[in-house]
Amino acid sequence: MSAVAGTPAPTGSTGIVRPEFDLADPEFWKLPAPTRAAAFAELRRLPAPVFFTERPAAGRRPAKGFHAIVRHADVVEASRTPAVFLSGPGVTTPEPARWVRALFGDSMVNLDDPRHAQLRRVVSRAFTPRLLERAEDDIRRVAARLVDEVIERRPEDFVTDVAAELPFQVICNMMGIPQEPRRAILDQVNRASEHIGVERPPRSRIRIPGRGLRALARMQGMVAELGRERRRRPTEDLISALVAADVDGRRLGGRDLGAFFSLLLVAGVETTRNALAHGLHLLSAHPEQRALLLSDLDRYLAGAVDEIIRHATPIIQFRRTLAADHDLNGTRLAAGEKVVLFFGSANRDEAVFADPDAFDITRSPNPHLGFGGGGPHYCLGAHLARQEMKVLLRELFTRLPDIRSVGEPELIPSNFDNRVRSLRFTFTPPGADAR
């Protein structure tokens, strides 16, 4: 294991030996994926979670830190005990600045009950079976058009031209966003979320958030305006349902709508895009799994999608803060302490998954935590994401059966999402020779 930081030392309360790598150090997240996977395997073998100290920013704030929750059973328990493991203090690492939340409102991922339950009920009520049925027809239409364009234009990058387009267009169609501002919104999503990664050149550290936040404010203003318009003249889109849904006397106001749309864009577009890109690469790197999938798409597609999500784990981690002392499978955690739930590590837990590093589309059962560990914050879009992936992979492999990635994906180091910047790909167009 190539060490990143620190020398072995006892970890205070637990008394166990500290490993030689540091999950709180951005350098750790630049290590090759197999090296990081080996580090998490080492953490899973230890008898208790290890505490990692974060460095104070610019020497001003006091050092903070977190217990790394790396086992499947522990991630599940923390996720399903929301009264103790709070999301309200923030789920991302590092935490967003307070003024950002004050200005843009809270999205439900950062709320606890009763506000979380209230908001989630309003949103769940708006996701009617009729809306989801229409979304499924739309996914099929958008996927078919994307594959038409791939055949016609033969783009080189699978990420921007194929994988990102599908979830983005589907969410915009669901929300009823007009065509005109869509390109600018997508550019904005790509820019605003780049700074979540750990690879930040010094200049962009200063520039991107400022520019990104202005664009975000414009986007949220636009969605709030659409909300006012739909309240006057409702249509069949999600915004109309959100402003009309009245649960416990509550409906979404302009600020809530803006925050929800931003959450959908980041939570729903980035994740699905990265899952699809990892999916094409995994199926290209494992020809025997690909042959099996193509031998019977009806039989293997659903399993392949879940195995892609387990293996790639698009969202690496979420943070929680303890509201009270709690024994997590034998370890005493104190009120006020933070834990980070590492979904990727849980998805490779040898106690749950046989041969966890293998990519096996027939794995059954496959109780992965790619959409979270259960509990009230479980991914709202899990069904939609699975549907998008199934429809696009079916369309691609049916019409372009030899489609495959070329070389390795270009990854963006990040402690938050397993992000692919670009992935080259090739295929034989229908009725032509291989290129």
For 149, what's the count of Cα atoms within 13 Å in the CB-facing half-sphere? Answer: 16
CB of 81 to ligand HEM, least distance (A): 12
Residue 405 found at the interface with ligand HEM (CB under 6 A): no
Q: Which residue in 84, 93, 102, 85 sits closest to 64, CA to CA?
A: 93
Contacts of 202 (CB under 8 A, 6+ apart): none
Q: Which stretch binds ligand HEM (CB under 6 A): 66-74, 134-142, 240-248, 368-376?
A: 368-376
How far apart (Å, rounded) are the C-alpha atoms in residues 272 and 315?
10
Query: Alpha helices, DSSP H only, in 265-338?
Result: 271-285, 287-295, 297-312
* Helix axes 165-175 and 254-264, enclosed angle (nearest 10): 160
d(CA 28, CA 165): 31
Assign 3-state DSSP to the chain and report helix, strand, coil percentages, each to 5.
50, 10, 35
Give least dist CB 368 to ligand HEM, A. Answer: 10
Q: Are 208 and 191 in contact (CB under 8 A)?
A: yes
Considering only residues 109 through 128, tell me which ones interact with ligand HEM, judged by CB under 6 A: 109, 120
Q: 429 preceded by cis ω (within 30°)?
A: no
Compare residues 154 and 421 and give the one whose CB is closer to ligand HEM. 421
- By the rule CB under 6 A, 294 interacts with ligand HEM: no
Tell me whether residue 267 or residue 301 sits nearer to ligand HEM (CB atom): 267
| Alpha-carbon span 273 to 243, nearest angstrom | 28
Interaction mask 160-199, ligand HEM, x per CB under 6 A: -------x--------------------------------
Q: How far is the CB of 305 from ligand HEM (least distance, A)?
A: 9
- Looking at the Cβ atoms of 4 and 126, the one nearer to ligand HEM is 126
Distance of alpha carbon 417 from alpha carbon 435, whole angstroms: 33
Q: What is the C-alpha separation between 138 and 87, in angstroms, rounded?
A: 33
Which part of the chain contacts ligand HEM (CB under 6 A), choosing from 138-146, 248-256, 376-384, 393-401?
Answer: 376-384
Binding ligand HEM (rule: CB under 6 A), the pick from 50, 328, 384, 423 is 384
Q: How far is the CB of 274 from ligand HEM (least distance, A)?
A: 8
Residues 310-349, one symbol each (x = binds ligand HEM by CB under 6 A, - = not), give ----xx--x------------------------x------
Tell which one of 245, 252, 267, 393 touches ligand HEM (CB under 6 A): 267
CA distance 269 to 233: 28
Q: Which is nearer to ligand HEM, 22 or 395 (CB)?
A: 395
* Residue among 68, 76, 108, 391 that touches ligand HEM (CB under 6 A): 108
CB of residue 380 to ligand HEM, shortest distance in Å:
4
Question: How big is the site for ligand HEM, counted in residues (CB under 6 A)?
Answer: 29
What phi, psi does 236 have (nearest 5°)? -100, 15
- Give me the residues that bind ligand HEM (CB under 6 A), please: 79, 108-109, 120, 167, 263-264, 267-268, 271-272, 275, 309, 314-315, 318, 343, 370-373, 375, 377-381, 384-385
